Amino acid sequence: MKKRTKIIFISIGIFFLIIIAGGLTFFLTIKFKYKPVPLDLENAPSEIKDIREDLYPKLVNYLFTWEDMVDFVIFSQYVADNSPVVLELVKDWDDIVWFNVSDEDDMWFYIEDDSLTVEIGPNPPENYGIIINLNFETMVRIIKQDVTPQKAFQRGTLTFEGDLNDVLKVNQIVETAAATIMGTYAPPIEITDNFVISADESSLYTEKGLTLIPYIQVNLKEGQYGESHVSTPSHGKVLIVNNRGEIVYELEDSAHTVHKFINSNTVAMGGQEGFMELWNYQTGEVETLDVPGGHHDFDYNPTTDTFMVLEYVFSTETWNGYNILYDKLGEYTRDGELLWEWDGRTEFPFNATRHTSLGMNLTFRGGADWMHANSFVWDKQNEVVYLNIRNLDTIAKINYATKDVLWEAGRSCNFTLYNKQNNLVDSIFHSPHSLERIGEDRFIIFDNDLYNTSNPNSMTLEGSQGFSRFLEFEIDEEQEEMRELWSWEITNQTYYLPESGGDADRLPDGNTLGVFGNKALVLNEKSPTIITEVTQDGEIVWELTINGVNITYFWVHLVERFYEQPLVQLNEVDLDSESNELYLNLTTWNGYKIDSLTEGSLKLRAGKKVIYEKAFNFLPKWQPNNFEISLTDVSSNTNKIYLIIENQDGIQITVEIFNTGWTTRNTVLVIIIPVIGGGLIASVIILERKKKLFSQIFLKKS
């Protein structure tokens, strides 16, 4: 006879928090609307208090058996009936979850009629929506927090199938019950309490920028510092801060790890499975799309309004007892329709020799992790994709139309590789993240320096020592060469070394902004997250250090710098008062970074009259737009001339470039923001510090 009881079953565990060994991120991918606040048992019946007093030591000492499930059900039922969090989560939700825990009996529960009902027996329902496979020992270890679900997944003792958003809701219910019985819940610590502006040379960066920082709270496991995959990721937020570290905008309870602007005020959020969301940071509105969140990276094409997403896919092939794990790219409409797909299973076949070239068995999600691609560049103009294949230290160029891999550059490839000293090397980067294209054949990447065969101290995850850095390189397809052009690393490399994540972005002013993750997420160590901006000469000009509190630390995968207006650099302005000829040389960038052409317009206005107008496209990834304008017959009665740059969203910047009140009519004005490195523009600096000029020109807006 079947036994039916309403229950919150804690054993389902916090199973979805899956950490990648090495590339290391996890599948927290929807907004957490409700915190797992434990139910206060002060006014609970004595029976409930007695059950907790009995079960807690049994769980801690591994004495909890299947026979204890009767008391466990009673306790969980009380939580289900009295927790506001649980009652809100199950409201208007119908589903069946099957827990494959015992070889003899199965367990499942119904979520219906705003409640939870569990059944135990040999015949689970066939129309379940979610299945969780784990043995009873794993269940107990997860409940008592002796092992994290991600580590259980890595060991192959826990798997699940089903809609991830529903799985995450189940987890929130589970966390509430687990926090109640184990008494281990701690409220989230505000990250801003731990902000430290550790460097600030405002004359060397564009001051009006904002920095988007998504973060995940990580709770360390005491007594196991330095051990991999034992810390517990928790809740997250998205912050937008100014150069003083002050919060300007904030999104509560979000745990996405990849954020990219798709227009001037909208951030697409995804990565790590689940579904993509759009956040208007100015209005606070959040929209959920039917587009898969994928893992590690995605990109947006404003011309077609489509998203390209990096996703995992298993193969039926096996190696060393594991199914081989591949990556694929899919292009989706906002409604989730798949328009195009590149599948590594057919286009990038497994090679056992390359897979074992580092002498390690790299696994993830219980599979042989053949590729572990973690970033890509979608060149829409030339219809190619550059895919960063982390586990092979390789960049692959893919033809969008044919899906062929045109070439591979990196470790164990045909390309010749040169470091900054022009020496031949096996690879110029090791387990890198965040590939971006910043110019013709020029790229920037975050080089983690993990599993670097030339550095034995980096060849193990625990205790790894390396030289994580920002790295710029170029690829010469004709000569089949990859060459390091520029890099930056801190003198005290171990302080900045992250085993997971990492970002490096080239900014309009030529500086490089990036994030050095920390060792809290992967190695359960007390270490800060550091967001650093450096000049081309390697000087740290702005830095935000995010410290932890007690055993709580914060993990940041990627950061984004943006500006709330387009940027302008005046290289030369010359108005000849005798011939009435105007010469203007300028450079401009959009206010946000996107890997696509976006529409813009340039106007010159003399008083109220437009004397020059030009439509153009802002170049991808903040590549500079250079303009040289010569006008004749500019009216001698002109008192003021304004330059107006506008983007496709109608966001403008207006700069006064001529005023009869100035001391001279023949004027040269330069450096509103610094020149992008490498001699792109030969500028004449007539002011001692950029900050002074910035205040005189950049802020002269109508």
Identity of the amino acid at 124: P
Per-residue pLDDT tens digits for 108-132: 888 898 888 877 778 888 889 988 8
Q: Is the pLDDT of residue 1 over 50?
A: no
Q: Which residues contact residue 456 at a Cβ distance below 8 angstroms, ignoring those fewer than 6 apart?
A: none
- What Rg value do the Cα atoms of the chain yield, rounded? 28
Binning pLDDT at 50, 70 and 90, where does residue 696 land?
A: very low
Q: Is 101 left (phi over 0), alpha (psi -120 to 50) or beta?
A: alpha
Per-residue pLDDT tens digits for 636-685: 677 889 999 999 999 999 999 988 755 333 333 333 443 333 333 333 33
The better pLDDT of the pair 138, 565 is held by 565
Binning pLDDT at 50, 70 and 90, where does residue 184 land?
A: low
Highest mean pLDDT among 141-155, 229-243, 493-507, 521-535: 521-535
Q: Give this prediction's pTM.
A: 0.77
The predicted structure's pLDDT at residue 136: 84
Binning pLDDT at 50, 70 and 90, where does residue 408 land?
A: very high
CA-to-CA separations, 250 to 6, 284, 306, 378, 422, in angstroms, rounded: 38, 8, 26, 29, 45
The better pLDDT of the pair 383, 633 is held by 383
The predicted structure's pLDDT at residue 536: 97
CA proximity to 562, closest of 240, 244, 279: 240
Q: Which residues contact residue 384 at a Cβ distance below 8 angstroms, ignoring those fewer than 6 apart?
A: 397, 398, 399, 400, 406
CA proximity to 23, closest of 443, 363, 378: 363
* Average pLDDT, integer, range 526-552: 94
Indicate the range of 15-24, 320-329, 505-514, 544-553 predicted with least confidence: 15-24
Start-end of CATH 2.120.10.30 domains in the chain: 191-534+545-562
The predicted structure's pLDDT at residue 648: 96
Per-residue pLDDT tens digits for 138-172: 878 777 766 656 556 545 677 778 776 676 677 77
The predicted structure's pLDDT at residue 86: 85
- Residue 560 is inside which H or E element, if any? strand 560-562
Cα 518–chain centre separation: 14
The predicted structure's pLDDT at residue 145: 62
Start-end of CATH 3.30.1050.10 domains in the chain: 3-182
The predicted structure's pLDDT at residue 168: 65
* Average pLDDT, integer, range 562-567: 97
* Average pLDDT, integer, range 248-269: 92
Start-end of CATH 2.60.40.10 domains in the chain: 567-698
φ and ψ of 75, to 5 deg: -65, -45
Pairing of the two strands 598-606 and 581-589? unpaired
Identity of the amino acid at 184: T
The predicted structure's pLDDT at residue 243: 95
CA proximity to 633, closest of 604, 664, 611, 652: 611
The predicted structure's pLDDT at residue 19: 32
Per-residue pLDDT tens digits for 433-486: 999 999 999 999 999 999 999 999 998 888 888 889 999 999 999 999 999 999
The predicted structure's pLDDT at residue 186: 57
Thinking of the domain 567-698, which architecture would CATH place it in? Sandwich (2.60)
The predicted structure's pLDDT at residue 35: 54
CATH of 191-534+545-562, one of 3.40.50.300, 2.120.10.30, 3.90.650.10, 2.30.29.30: 2.120.10.30
The predicted structure's pLDDT at residue 650: 97
Task: Say which residue the tokens 């937020």 belong to.
Answer: 237
| CA 311 – CA 628 distance, rounded (Å) | 44
3-state SS, 259-291, equals EEECCCCEEEEECCCCEEEEEECCCCCEEEEEE
Pairing of the two strands 367-369 and 322-332? parallel
Q: Is the pLDDT of residue 187 over 80?
A: no
Q: Is the pLDDT of residue 542 over 90?
A: yes
Q: Which two tokens stand for residue 561?
A: 């710098």
| CA 220 – CA 525 distance, rounded (Å) | 7
The predicted structure's pLDDT at residue 57: 87
Indicate the range of 105-109, 249-253, 539-543, 648-652 predicted with least confidence: 105-109
Identity of the amino acid at 9: F
**DSSP assignment letter at 697:** I
Binning pLDDT at 50, 70 and 90, where does residue 104 land?
A: low
The predicted structure's pLDDT at residue 577: 77
Q: Is the pLDDT of residue 563 over 80?
A: yes
CB of 610 closer than 8 Å to CB of 646: no
- Domain 3-182: which topology? Nonspecific Lipid-transfer Protein; Chain A (3.30.1050)
The whole-chain average pLDDT of the chain stands at: 84
- What proportion of the chain, given as a percentage, has pLDDT over 70? 85
The predicted structure's pLDDT at residue 236: 81
Q: What is the dihedral of CA 267, 273, 275, 277, to 10 degrees?
A: -10
Q: Which two tokens stand for residue 517?
A: 């993750």
Per-residue pLDDT tens digits for 600-621: 999 999 988 999 999 999 999 9
Indicate the range of 45-49, 87-91, 272-276, 484-488 predicted with least confidence: 272-276
